[in-house]
C-alpha cells in the first residue's frame, strides 16, 4: 500500500523540471543553437574583458597619483615665485 501512495504524488522539483523541459521543446533548434552560441561567446570574452578592466584600473591609479603630485608640485612652485 505504501508504494502505491508514494508513486502517486510528485515532488514540486520534478514538476518544475518537467515544465522547464516542455518549454525547451517549444523552442526551435535554431533558437536553441543561437542561445548556446551566445552563452559560449559571453563565456569566452570574459577573459579579455577582465584583462582590459585590470589594465584600465592600473592606468587610472597611475594617472591619479601623477595628477596628485603634479598639482601639489605646481602649487609649491607658484608659491615660491610669488614670494620673490
pLDDT digits (tens, 9 = 90+) for 6-41: 555 678 888 888 887 777 666 677 887 888 888 887
76 within domain boundaries = yes
11 within domain boundaries = no
Q: Which residues of 56-79 are buried (b: 16+ CB within 10 A; e: fewer)?
A: eeeeeeeeeeeeeeeeeeeeeeee
41 within domain boundaries = yes
Select the more confidently predicted residue: 75 or 84.
Answer: 75
Residue 44 near residue 36 (C-beta atoms within 8 A): no
pLDDT at residue 8, as a whole number: 57
73 within domain boundaries = yes
46 within domain boundaries = yes
5 within domain boundaries = no
The Cα 50–Cα 24 span in angstroms is: 32
37 within domain boundaries = yes
Question: pLDDT of 34-73, one tens digit each?
Answer: 888 888 877 776 677 888 999 999 999 999 999 999 988 8
The total number of structural domains in the chain stands at: 1
pLDDT at residue 73, as a whole number: 83
Q: Which residues span the domain enclosing 30?
A: 25-80
Amino acid at each position: 500500500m505504501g508504494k502505491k501512495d508514494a508513486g502517486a504524488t510528485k515532488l514540486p522539483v520534478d514538476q518544475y523540471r518537467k515544465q522547464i523541459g516542455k518549454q525547451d521543446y517549444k523552442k526551435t533548434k535554431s533558437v536553441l543553437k543561437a542561445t548556446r552560441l551566445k552563452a559560449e561567446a559571453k563565456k569566452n570574452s570574459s577573459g579579455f574583458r577582465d584583462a582590459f578592466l585590470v589594465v584600465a584600473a592600473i592606468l587610472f591609479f597611475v594617472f591619479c597619483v601623477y595628477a596628485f603630485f603634479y598639482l601639489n608640485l605646481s602649487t609649491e612652485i607658484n608659491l615660491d615665485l610669488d614670494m620673490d
